[in-house]
Amino acid sequence: MSVAAAYAARWLRLLREEVFVLPSRTMILLVCIFLLIFPAVSQEPFILRILILAAIFAIFAASWDLLSGFTGQVNFGHALFFGVAAYTAALLNWNLGLPPWATLPLGAVAAVLAGLLVGLPCLRLRGTYLAFATLAFPLILLGVVYAIPDITGGELGIYGLDPLSDSRVVSYYIVIPSMLALGFIMWKITDSRIGLVFHAIREDEVTARASGINTTRYKLLAFCLSGLFAGIAGGLHAHFVKATGPSTLELLLSFQAIIWAVFGGLATIYGPIASVLILYPLTEYVPARYLSGFSEDFAQMKLVIFAVVVLVVLIFMPQGLITWFRDRTEKICPRCKLQNVAWRRKCRVCTAELG
């Protein structure tokens, strides 16, 4: 058997034994395939733009979930990481002429440093005090942006940046695979020992510290990792729209990340990603295509649509849309704790009765 055939057989076995056995994993695979082949179906610039922006904000929302959903360190100023990376990438590109492939990692590094800046003074704070402390940092940076307009562009921001690509399709195939890869990396982090420690800190930080876990180090790690992924999203956004401005630091963006995460399901990573991929096209494409012809006011109904959809989901699915779907289609084995399809009578691994 050739090497290619061996790898093909291994992947087929993986799909059969690990992916197709659970509805949630099957849905994720189908969504990934759909996103990767979508330009073969339609290359309409407007639709591709919406999907690209949705993918960027999906990374951003998942990065908030990595910090706040898994460790319980509620961050009301998550736009700080996004804005720092966006401004760093913009300034390096505008002033030094660095291309996007150089400014993106440098912007992400700046966001990690911002994570350290936020994490260090906030490590001893909890609950409401932590939330309001994190809220202050983007406001401070926003004041700095307005104070030095000669450098930051002030209220107008910085325009004329180099694009990710001159082709919308190429930009699509830069952002979408990046979103899928970064989402997988974040999920693997939460599925590792680090993720277990994050869970322990969220559930009972005092007990976690008493068991020998250096909670300070892990909380700082969570801030830095969250800043890294949010920073990548910020850099991608700046170069895709070819501009950056105060809107990348506004409180609305931070609260949108929270809403997206809660809508999809906290502490899942794929929940916030799915949430953005549902809500962002719904609130951008529908008003633009079907409501713009009625009136100027009626065309601005996207916030109303956003609020109504979120409200309905949170009333009937308080754990989040994706978590609700998973709980209805899957159940956990009481013996080995593995997920199984809800209609199975025995566990697919240990054959224990599922009840």
Q: What are phi and psi of 339, to 5 degrees?
A: -75, 140
Q: CB of 61 within 8 A of CB of 272?
A: yes
Q: CB of 16 within 8 A of CB of 318?
A: no
Which residue, among 276, 248, 249, 247, has the nearest Cα to 260 in the 3D structure?
276
pLDDT digits (tens, 9 = 90+) for 233-288: 999 999 999 999 999 999 989 999 999 999 999 999 999 999 999 999 988 877 66
For 73, the 3-state DSSP assignment is: coil
Between CA 97 and CA 352 the distance in angstroms is: 62
123 CA to centre of own chain = 23
Structure tokens at 150: 């000669």
341 bridge partner residues = 330
Q: CB of 320 within 8 A of CB of 271?
A: yes
Q: If you search the block for the tokens 């713009």, which residue do you land on?
A: 292
- At 304, is the pLDDT very low, low, confident or very high (cuts 50, 70, 90)? confident
The conformation of residue 323, written as its DSSP 8-state character, comes to H
Between CA 7 and CA 169 the distance in angstroms is: 30
Checking if the pLDDT of 293 tops 70, the result is no
Between CA 52 and CA 30 the distance in angstroms is: 18
Q: CB of 338 within 8 A of CB of 344?
A: no
Q: CB of 65 within 8 A of CB of 261?
A: yes
Provide the pLDDT for residue 3. Answer: 79
Provide the pLDDT for residue 334. Answer: 87
Between CA 304 and CA 291 the distance in angstroms is: 12
Between CA 107 and CA 193 the distance in angstroms is: 28
> pTM for the complete prediction?
0.94
Checking if the pLDDT of 302 tops 80, the result is no
